[in-house]
Amino acid sequence: MPQPATRTRAKSTDVIFEEAGSSLSGKELKRVTISVRAFPYRTEAEHPYEIDRIIAEDHTAHVGDVIDVLPMEFARGVRLNAFLKRNQNLAVLTGKEIPEETGTELQFSAVDATDTELINWIKDKGPRVQEVIDASEGDADTAARLLAAEAAATGNDPRKGVVMGLEAVVRRSQQAE
């Protein structure tokens, strides 16, 4: 009679991580490095239209990515052996040298952009609704400029989610004053 296969479970103490603050709901985040080809996970985000409502956003991280995960995602990643462990070398996993200092890619700054640059960004890059809302950085003036750019870039047919989200940014800013 064949013996059942034994599974070895990873221990969370083997995973390289650091504390990364807390999420919108106050849960402790852990910063980890991905060691598998793809790891789907969820984060918390503010609802684009409703103030004080938190929603889940789906993401996918790839080998070498450094991400902040919620406790539930950390436990799942440990179970799936998805995070870099003390006995692993990231350069071997990715097949390329990892620079000592890994900076983040420069992101588009809507606050500093001209109106023409905003229009071209929306036309050329096709940012998702949430990316346009996030680009306002919570600033009412930038949100208004992004609304105008969205209208101009889409031939006066702006996406409903962008309009609702940016209007919510403007309302929040007015309530704070």
| pLDDT digit string, tens, across residues 90-138 | 666 655 554 444 444 445 688 888 999 999 989 888 888 888 888 888 8
Strands (E), 93-173: none
Q: Domain for residue 136, yes or no?
A: yes
- The residue assigned the tokens 């539930």 is 72
Judged by DSSP in three states, 120 sits in helix
Which region, left, alpha or beta, applies to residue 153 given φ > 0 means left and ψ of -120 to 50 means alpha?
Answer: alpha
One domain, residues 71 and 140: no
Structure tokens at 133: 């809302």
Asked if 32 and 15 touch (Cβ cutoff 8 Å), the reply is: yes
Residue 9 has pLDDT above 70, yes or no: no
Cα angle for residues 69, 129, 42 (degrees, 5° grid)? 15
DSSP at 95? T
Bigger pLDDT: 36 vs 149 = 149
What pLDDT does residue 102 have?
44
Q: Domain for residue 110, yes or no?
A: no
Which region, left, alpha or beta, applies to residue 75 given φ > 0 means left and ψ of -120 to 50 means alpha?
Answer: alpha
- Please identify, among 39, 61, 94, the residue that sits at the C-terminal boundary of a domain: 94
What pLDDT does residue 106 have?
44
Residue 148 — very low, low, confident or very high, per pLDDT cuts 50/70/90? very high
Q: Domain for residue 104, yes or no?
A: no
One domain, residues 88 and 127: no
Asked if 68 and 61 touch (Cβ cutoff 8 Å), the reply is: no
Strands (E), the chain: 17-22, 28-33, 38-46, 54-62, 66-69
Total domains in the chain come to 2
Enclosing domain of residue 136:
115-176
One domain, residues 86 and 50: yes
One domain, residues 86 and 139: no
Q: Domain for residue 80, yes or no?
A: yes
Q: Which of 158, 109, 163 is nearest to 135 (CA)?
A: 109
Asked if 77 and 41 touch (Cβ cutoff 8 Å), the reply is: yes
- The residue assigned the tokens 């109106």 is 115
Burial annotation 120-159 (CB, 10 A radius, 16+ → b, else e): ebbeeeebebebbbbbbeebbebbbbbbebbbbbeeeebe
What pLDDT does residue 66 have?
86
Average of per-residue pLDDT across 17-33 = 82
pTM: 0.46
What percentage of residues in the chain have a pLDDT greater than 70? 80
One domain, residues 16 and 72: yes
- The residue assigned the tokens 């390289």 is 16
CA distance 50 to 28: 24
